């Protein structure tokens, strides 16, 4: 498979399973695929959904490593912000993994947002009897 065929297939479906490991994909091939707006949005949305459900990035071997080789630190930082804003998870749950996978962007990542206080405002005290349940 040459670069033009890879780019054509990956732009048509960026979740295609290729007959070779992601580690063998040249960085410039995937960098070219990433230039398509819809590809960027599809992959970023999938990563945000994964973090939202699992609390971490969960991808096949080599996938994140391929992105790390192909994307610039600023592109990776933009991916981070997208995941942060769309996943609805505290950054502390997944940021360490992101930083470990995408080391080149750590210096340009935004500061971690403070986590909100617990919703209930404190611990529950007293004994639960069930007498106050209206059914």
User: How do residues 14-58 score in pLDDT, each as one tens digit?
Assistant: 888 777 788 888 999 999 999 999 999 999 999 999 999 999 998
For the purposes of burial, counting CB atoms within 10 Å of the CB of 106, is it exposed (0-12), middle (13-18) or buried (19 or more)? middle
Residue 82 has pLDDT above 90, yes or no: yes
Q: Determine the pLDDT at residue 63.
A: 87
Q: Cα angle vertex 56, ends 24, 47, to 5°? A: 60
Residue 65 has pLDDT above 70, yes or no: yes
Q: Determine the pLDDT at residue 130.
A: 56
């Amino acid at each position: 498979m040459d670069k033009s065929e890879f780019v054509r297939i990956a732009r048509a479906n960026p979740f295609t399973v290729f007959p070779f490991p992601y580690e063998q994909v040249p960085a410039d091939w995937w960098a070219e695929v990433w230039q398509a707006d819809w590809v960027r949005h599809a992959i970023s949305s999938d990563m945000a959904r994964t973090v939202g459900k699992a609390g971490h990035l969960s991808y096949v071997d080599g996938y994140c490593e391929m992105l790390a080789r192909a994307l610039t630190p600023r592109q990776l930082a933009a991916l981070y912000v997208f995941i942060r804003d769309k996943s609805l998870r505290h950054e502390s749950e997944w940021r360490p993994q992101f930083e470990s996978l995408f080391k080149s962007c750590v210096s340009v990542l935004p500061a971690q947002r403070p986590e909100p206080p617990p919703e209930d405002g404190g611990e529950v005290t007293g004994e639960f009897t069930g007498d106050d349940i209206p059914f």
